[in-house]
Amino acid sequence: MSTLTNKQIILGITGGIAAYKSAELARLLIDKGATVHVVMTTAAQEFITPLTMQALTGNPVHTTLLDPQAEAGMGHIQLARWADLILIAPASANFIARMTQGKGDDLLTTVCLASNAPVAIAPAMNQNMWQDAHTQRNLESLRADGKIIMGPADGPQACGDVGPGRMLEAAQIAQLAAEQFEKKGLSGKHVVINAGPTREAIDPVRYISNYSSGKMGYSLAEAAVEAGAKVTLISGPVNLAAPERVELISVISAEEMYQQSVKLAPNSDVFIASAAVADYRPVKVEPQKIKKQADVLQIQLTPNKDIVAAVAALDSKPFTVGFAAETQNLEDYAKKKLTQKKLDLIVANDVSKEDIGFNSDDNEVTLFWPSGQRSLDKASKRQLARQIIEFISQQLETTD
């Protein structure tokens, strides 16, 4: 079980009926070993009294930004520096909106702005407010900034509605808070992943591409986030939703993917090239739609740059991982690519098998690295992604 021994937590409470659960949450955080300071907004005090929270935490409750007496005790900057984690539960729609705008118009928003600690929010609101486009846009933006969103749950609400927007139970939030401190394999690492196909324009309405779905790369991005990494996903055109807490950069052509990859890779710790980059592009992109005329239409192609080889050739080369999708001689071709492209690891799979690979949800891969190899059994791409990420973090540990 995860603990919060010696952890210093600011529990932020905003205005909502779920604030009654914050009392239980404070108690559970303390039970797990944390020291808790509570910061309440003005609206929160309509739902639960500062006295209750003070009695439970054994610490004075902080309510105002511009109170000289409070600032003389533990001022907002001291509070911000003191925290190992800022946990806001419940987080109302209004608070979420203010936070998204970067406002510092009360003590809680100011402490969030002034702190380097991770910020987690447990939203609680009416289901229509939760589903409102503003709220959803705000949450997306907070997620992209690295904020941790806990819940909400789905079910009956205090207002009589049923739907998403209920705050998670105090025990679930306390558990998630404790998990934030678990040492994860890729904590503090920046992982850049490219994924999906590229499209190479022939004319304004046509292109050359391939069947890559992007599922493997997106699963790797999710697994890397789970392992604690900061993740940037450079994606070709796919029909997949952006994974949570991942910075998504959308590109179309191999050249665009190359530019983004070589820009981001030098400052990353791990680069994973899971994209099915088109090997060739038309020499000339016709400015007008090509008309149907001759019996044979010839399109001249020229090779695209090899992205993963370019990254592996960088002076400040990250741990570089390539993929080899082959229809024959898997081992031979994979090992050749590992050496020729100077990779640290190559993930090889046989795309001639119909039940795995390209568009499938499953895959079966073999990992080759300069001093060894390991086959991973057939599994869902999500499960395989976790195993691959786990393997990469072990390799990083041995080279660190």
User: Contact between 216 and ligand C5P (CB under 6 A)?
Assistant: no
Tokens of 145: 């900034």
Query: Half-sphere exposure of 340 toward its Cβ, with a 13 Å CA cutoff?
Result: 8
Give least dist CB 157 to ligand C5P, A: 47
Interface pick for ligand C5P out of 200, 247, 306, 350 (rule CB under 6 A) = 306
Give least dist CB 188 to ligand C5P, A: 25
Interface pick for ligand C5P out of 98, 190, 215, 337 (rule CB under 6 A) = 337
Which one of the spans 135-143, 318-326, 360-368, 391-399 is the region binding ligand C5P (CB under 6 A)?
318-326
Tokens of 339: 């050496």
Tokens of 100: 């998204």
User: Contact between 320 and ligand C5P (CB under 6 A)?
Assistant: no
Query: Which residue, 13 or 307, has its beta carbon nearer to ligand C5P?
Result: 307
Query: Which residue, 130 or 323, has its beta carbon nearer to ligand C5P?
Result: 323
Which one of the spans 9-17, 133-141, 321-329, 372-380 is the region binding ligand C5P (CB under 6 A)?
321-329
User: Contact between 122 and ligand C5P (CB under 6 A)?
Assistant: no
User: Contact between 196 and ligand C5P (CB under 6 A)?
Assistant: no
Query: Which residue, 57 or 232, has its beta carbon nearer to ligand C5P?
Result: 232
User: Contact between 304 and ligand C5P (CB under 6 A)?
Assistant: yes
In one letter, which amino acid is 233?
L
Total residues at the site for ligand C5P (CB under 6 A)?
14
Rule CB under 6 A: which of 219-258 touch ligand C5P?
Answer: 254
- Catalytic-labelled residue, pool 66, 77, 158, 159: 159
Query: Which residue, 154 or 332, has its beta carbon nearer to ligand C5P?
Result: 332
Q: Are 280 and 302 in contact (CB under 8 A)?
A: yes
The region that residue 214 occupies, defined by phi over 0 for left and psi between -120 and 50 for alpha, beta otherwise, is: left
Q: Are 217 and 321 in contact (CB under 8 A)?
A: no
Tokens of 371: 């001093």
187 C-beta neighbours (distance < 10 Å), count: 12
Q: Are 26 and 49 in contact (CB under 8 A)?
A: no
User: Contact between 170 and ligand C5P (CB under 6 A)?
Assistant: no
Phi, then psi, of 29 in degrees rounded to 5: -65, -40
Length of the chain, in residues: 400
Query: Which residue, 248 or 309, has its beta carbon nearer to ligand C5P?
Result: 309
Which one of the spans 68-76, 104-112, 235-243, 299-307 is the region binding ligand C5P (CB under 6 A)?
299-307
Query: Apex CA 47: angle with CA 43 and CA 48, to 5°?
Result: 110
User: Contact between 308 and ligand C5P (CB under 6 A)?
Assistant: yes
Cis peptide before 90 (omega within 30 of 0): yes
Query: Which residue, 202 or 308, has its beta carbon nearer to ligand C5P?
Result: 308
The region that residue 4 occupies, defined by phi over 0 for left and psi between -120 and 50 for alpha, beta otherwise, is: alpha
Interface pick for ligand C5P out of 80, 273, 338, 356 (rule CB under 6 A) = 273
Give least dist CB 232 to ligand C5P, A: 16
Give least dist CB 99 to ligand C5P, A: 38
Give least dist CB 250 to ligand C5P, A: 17
Q: Are 303 and 353 in contact (CB under 8 A)?
A: no
User: Contact between 367 and ligand C5P (CB under 6 A)?
Assistant: no
User: Contact between 307 and ligand C5P (CB under 6 A)?
Assistant: yes
- Would residue 159 show up in a list of annotated catalytic residues for this protein? yes
Cα–Cα distance for residue pair 49/86, rounded to 1 Å:
20
274 C-beta neighbours (distance < 10 Å), count: 26
Cα–Cα distance for residue pair 37/57, rounded to 1 Å:
7
Name residues whose C-beta falls within 8 Å of residue 180's C-beta, 6 or more positions apart in sequence: 85, 118, 120, 148
Query: Which residue, 107 or 307, has its beta carbon nearer to ligand C5P?
Result: 307
| CA proximity to 157, closest of 167, 166, 168, 169 | 166
User: Contact between 351 and ligand C5P (CB under 6 A)?
Assistant: no
Give me the residues that bind ligand C5P (CB under 6 A), please: 254, 273, 275, 277, 279, 304-308, 322-324, 337
Residues with a catalytic annotation lie at 159
